[in-house]
A and B are shown apart, each in its own frame.
Chain A
Amino acid sequence: MDFLTVLQILDSSIRLATPLLLACLAGLFSERAGIFDIGLEGKMLAAAFFSAAFAFTSGSVWVGLFAGVGASVFLSGLHGAASITFRGNQLISGVAINFLAAGLTVVIAQTWFSQGGRTPQLPSEARFGNIVLPGAESTIREIAQLGPLGQIYSELISGHSILVYIAFLIVPLTWWVLFRTRFGLRLRAVGENPAAVDTAGISVVGMRYAAVIICGVLCGLAGAYLATALNAGFVKDMSAGRGYIALAALIFAKWRPWYALMACLLFGFFDAVGNRFQNITVGEIVVPVQFMQALPYILVVIVLAGLVGRAIPPRAGGEPYVKER
């Protein structure tokens, strides 16, 4: 396996990690504020559908992006209303959103486009194209001639859609917001001890809604990326469990932004490896393709089985806040 092949796998890891990363950071905001969100999957799926549908009809990928984010924020608002205002069970609300999105996207897609629950293939102007960074305009053959740094720059760093760069920039931004701003301090506090926030004269409800809305925006980006950058259109259940993998990554990352980046890259890497090496022969044994493709999910099971050390979730997570004397 030469260096360029490794780079290609890493390049593919980055593409596959991006939706995970956006969803994971979405979950991070929500859960740090004490609202558990199992509905990342559904929000991503809804965003994927609406971004593809609007991008196709309008011909503009940006219109699609806004529609996708809008749909995701709407579902976030529902989750917020159920779990913050009406103090419902956050798991049930999240699961309901997943079912709602899985069913509605297909039904609406069929009604609008009559293509068996999918959107038509998006033309290139209705998709996010890849941005070629200056000095990286080489063909594959030319890249092979470059030195290692040049190869890394041209193959790995250059040539992604804008959403990939945005996703990676959101990591330091999230860290900065959480640990360097007043908003972040209050957000973390409301997930740990909402009573402390309340007695300090800050609105618990307001903080939690803010977190849930940010979660919606990021999930919307993740979904739009799936349908308008990674793929060219919406197909049924295209989120394929990524929302759950993002949740696993969030636990793996112990609710920290930089760790979340690492965790998502790891899951993306396994995904990329599974795609690239369909059959591997280890000595006498042929590892079946199904096993390779199941790798990220197997990793999820291992992570959730707690083999990676104890992860302590935000202490007030999952519990609605009831004011007491």
Chain B
Amino acid sequence: MTDAAAIELRGISKAFGPVQANKDISMSVKRGTIHGIVGENGAGKSTLMSILYGFYKADRGEIFINGQKTEIPDSQAAIRAGIGMVHQHFKLVENFTVVENVILGAEDGAMLNPSIAKARRTLKELSEEYGLKVDPDAIIEDLSVGHQQRVEILKQLYRHADILILDEPTGVLTPAEADQLFRILERLREEGKTIVLITHKLREIMEITDTVSVMRRGEMTNTVATASTSPAELAEMMVGRKVLLRVEKSPAKPGDVMLKVDDLRVVRDGVERLKGVSLHVRAGEILGIAGVAGNGQTELLEVLGGMIPATGGTVTVRNEQIDVSGKHSNGQTRRARGIGHVPEDRQDEGLIMPFEAWENTAFGYHKDPKYNHGMLMDNAAIKADCADKMERYDVRPPNPRLPARNFSGGNQQKIVVAREMDRAPDILLVGQPTRGVDIGAIEFIHKEILRLRDEGKAILLVSVELDEIMGLSDRIAVMFDGKIMGERLPSETNENELGLLMAGVTETRVGGAA
């Protein structure tokens, strides 16, 4: 029994209508190991894990847990079988306490107080055993994202999970928090837990997993021991062709200052989100803004893009000060000044999801004479333009009549990128260009950003992905708590230094007084 694999899948298949999400997948994970699953978006990783957690029922195939054939028709059955899942978007009730979240669905009896008392004791034991420190009476929304994730893990351990599935667990964490998570996972492995880690970050796979499976187009193409492979090889297996993990780039040839920001301030909901940000971007260079999400980068982009007003400070474009707080401060006037904007959140800000792709290509540029016939929109021209962009930017499927929501994340992003970059704006604001985008599309978008730079455009890049910032930027500014903590050259810094700056730590002082 102890020799049996913790998880064994045999011939799992699942189709959604005509789409075969999982094709005859077999996989075996040994007890007490960390197994990684990598693959592009839409490769079927989430579907496979949802089958294992009882969200979907497989059309065919068998699941064996610890050597025993197990039916998993719903989450309850999965929990009974000792499977716990930590979702990418946490499933926590935000205004409940930690202990309330932990017992939800695993209460002992109809009264709460005894359950809470018992959970408090168990949580204490668990947190000591695995080094997962959390205050049981804290309200979830007051906790950092890293601590919320610990609550999710504790929740699973409280339910006696022996098998933990983690779906993109580091997407929302700082490098330091991700490190802590990995120490916790290692501890769990030592205690004999089995962990399945779904991620698209190859570095994490290499760092923490024992074995790794690669999925492509619904099939599990390879399973290898991590020690015997390399990131480049994994990337090739995922995409099916050779991929450049780090885009080749030539040295920048910075020109005149195109965008200059002085002492920019923004107050939103009574909180000062930007506390005097100053920076400049030259023609032909990429300024990368690193930082943990929520430290003012969003507001910086939104002010520069004309979406929200500034409460103080100035912005100068080509030696001319522009309106950033009055009624002329909007996306239209920005675009008229040659500022393109790829917003951080493509679904909320970049696209209107129920609208068709061709309609989305015209937003912000709908007054362009080539899209208009007098008072009427020239829909045929917009559609033709959209089809042309889709071909050049490799949007799949290249169908202008498809609603934006029906494209995969990467292709949605390409639609936004095509709209904003194809006009070669003098200044390009880019927020999280590759969030939730698969590896092939990342390579494409990075190349496009560099192409614009080499054409002499000024680019402001905001990303929470440190790799991306390191790989693309010519200069890196780190934001923390609404301020620029410092500026570094990529060649003269490393992830540790940037990680410390992102946490508000500088050589001379410890930031984040609050």
Docked Cα-Cα span, A175 to B56, in Å, equals 37
Q: Pick from B89, B103, B109: contact of A185, CB below 8 A.
A: B103
Query: Restricting to B56-93, which residues have a CB under 8 Å from any CB of A?
Result: 56, 74-76, 78-79, 85, 87, 89, 91-93
A201 close to B (CB within 8 Å): yes
Given contacts A182-B111, A201-B79, contact A325 B91 (CB under 8 A): no
Q: Which of A58-66, A132-140, A189-197 contacts B (4 or more CB under 8 A)?
A: A189-197
Q: Is B101 an interface residue (CB 8 A)?
A: yes
B104 contacts A200, C-beta separation under 8 Å: yes
Q: B112 contacts A182, CB within 8 Å?
A: yes
- Any chain A CB within 8 A of the CB of B100? yes
Annotate A282-325 by CB proximity to B: 1 below 8 A, 0 otherwise. Answer: 00000000000000000000000000000000010000000101
Q: Are A189 and B104 in contact (CB under 8 A)?
A: yes
Pick from A183, A198, A200 the residue with the most CB of B within 10 Å: A200
A185 touches B47 (CB 8 A): no
Instruction: Take A182-B109, A325-B50 as given contacts and tell me if A193 and B92 are in contact as well, using a CB distance cutoff of 8 Å.
Output: yes
Cβ-based interface call for B115 (8 A): yes
Say yes or no: is B113 at the interface (Cβ < 8 Å to chain A): yes
Residue of B nearest to A312 (CB): B95
Q: How far is the CA of A315 from the CA of B113 in the complex (A)?
A: 25
Which positions 167-186 of chain A face chain B at CB distance < 8 Å?
179-186
A182 near B95: Cβ-Cβ < 8 Å: no
Contacts of B105 in A (CB 8 A): 186, 197, 200-202
Is the CB of A145 closer than 8 A to any CB of chain B? no
Q: Is the interface of B mostly helix, strand, loop or mixed?
A: loop
- A325 CA to B45 CA in the complex, in Å? 11
Closest B-chain residue to A201, C-beta based? B76
Chain A nearest CB, measured from B12 CB (Å): 15
Within 8 A of A (CB), among B303-344: none
Number of B interface residues at 8 Å Cβ cutoff, please give it.
Answer: 33
Q: Does B110 contact A (CB under 8 A)?
A: yes
Q: How far is the CA of A77 from the CA of B115 in the complex (A)?
A: 32
Residues of chain B contacted by A186 (CB below 8 angstroms):
104-105
Decide: A199 near B94, CB < 8 A? Known: A180-B111, A185-B103, A186-B105. Answer: no
Q: Which of A107-141 contact B (CB under 8 A)?
A: none
Known: A193-B91, A196-B93. A185 touches B111 (CB 8 A): no
B130 at the A interface (CB under 8 A): no
Within the assembled complex, what's the spacing in Å between the Cα atoms of A202 and B91? 13
Which residue of chain B lies nearest to A180 when distances are taken between CB atoms in the complex? Answer: B112
- Report the minimum CB–CB distance from B220 to chain A (whole Å): 18
Task: Report the count of interface residues on A (CB-CB < 8 A).
Answer: 23
Inter-chain contacts of B53 with A (CB < 8 A)? 199
Contact of A200 with B87 at beta-carbon distance under 8 Å, contacts A182-B115, A184-B112, A325-B50 already known: no
Beta-carbon contact of B94 and A192 below 8 Å: yes
- B91 contact from A179, A196, A315, Cβ within 8 A: A196
> Across the interface, which residues of B come within 8 angstroms of A323, CB to CB?
55
Residues from chain B with a CB closer than 8 A to the CB of A192 are 93-96
Q: Is the CB of A196 within 8 A of B104?
A: yes
Contact flags B25-49 to A (C-beta < 8 A → 1, else 0): 0000000000000000000001100
Chain A residues near B112 (CB-CB < 8 A): 179-182, 184-185
**Interface status of B394 (Cβ within 8 A of chain A):** no
Q: Are B75 and A201 in contact, with the CB atoms below 8 A?
A: yes
In whole angstroms, how far apart are the Cα atoms of A201 and B55 in the complex?
Answer: 10
CB–CB A199/B111 < 8 A: no
Among B46, B100, B107, B115, the one with the most A-chain Cβ atoms within 10 Å of its Cβ is B107
B232: Cβ under 8 A from any A Cβ? no
B106 near A: Cβ within 8 Å? yes
List which A46-61 residues lie within 8 A (CB) of chain B: none
Asked whether B110 lies within 8 Å of A199 as measured between CB atoms, the reply is: no
Complex Cα spacing A77 to B46, Å: 35
Bound-complex Cα distance A183 to B109 (A): 10
With A181-B111, A182-B111, A182-B115 as contacts: A315 and B94 at CB distance below 8 Å: yes
**Cβ–Cβ < 8 Å partners of A185 in chain B:** 100, 103-104, 107, 112
- Known: A192-B95, A196-B91, A201-B105. Is A181-B55 also a contact (CB below 8 A)? no
Q: How many Å lie between the Cα of A181 and that of B110 in the bound state? A: 6
Contact residues, A150-180 vs B (CB, 8 A): 179-180
Shortest CB distance A320–B (Å): 17
By a CB distance below 8 angstroms, the chain B residues around A182 are 107, 109-112, 115
Smallest CB separation, A237 vs chain B (Å): 39
B89: A residues at CB distance < 8 A: 195
Contact A196 B107 (CB under 8 A): no
* Complex alpha-carbon distance, A199 and B101, angstroms: 12
> Is A196 within 8 A of B76, CB to CB?
no
In angstroms, Cα B84 to Cα A200, docked, is 10
Residue of B nearest to A199 (CB): B91
Tell me which residues across on chain A come within 8 A of B87, comparing CB atoms.
199
CA distance A183 to B76 in the complex (A): 17
Tell me the nearest residue of chain B to A179, going by C-beta: B112
Collect the chain B residues with CB atoms within 8 Å of residue A181's CB.
Answer: 110-112
Residues of B within 8 A of A184 (CB): 112
- Contact in complex: A195, B79 (CB < 8 Å): no
**A201 vs B106: C-alpha distance when bound (angstroms):** 9
Contact of B75 among A179, A193, A200 (CB under 8 A): A200
Closest B residue by C-beta to A184: B112
Q: Could you write out 12 A-B pairs with CB less than 8 Å apart?
A: A182-B111, A182-B115, A183-B110, A185-B100, A185-B112, A188-B96, A189-B104, A192-B93, A192-B96, A196-B92, A196-B104, A200-B106
| Known pairs A182-B107, A186-B105, A201-B78 / 5 extra A-B pairs, C-beta < 8 Å | A196-B101, A196-B104, A200-B104, A200-B106, A315-B94
- A positions within 8 Å CB-CB of B: 179-186, 188-189, 192-193, 195-202, 315, 323, 325
Q: Which 7 A-B pairs have the closest CB atoms?
A: A200-B105, A201-B76, A196-B91, A182-B107, A199-B91, A201-B75, A192-B93
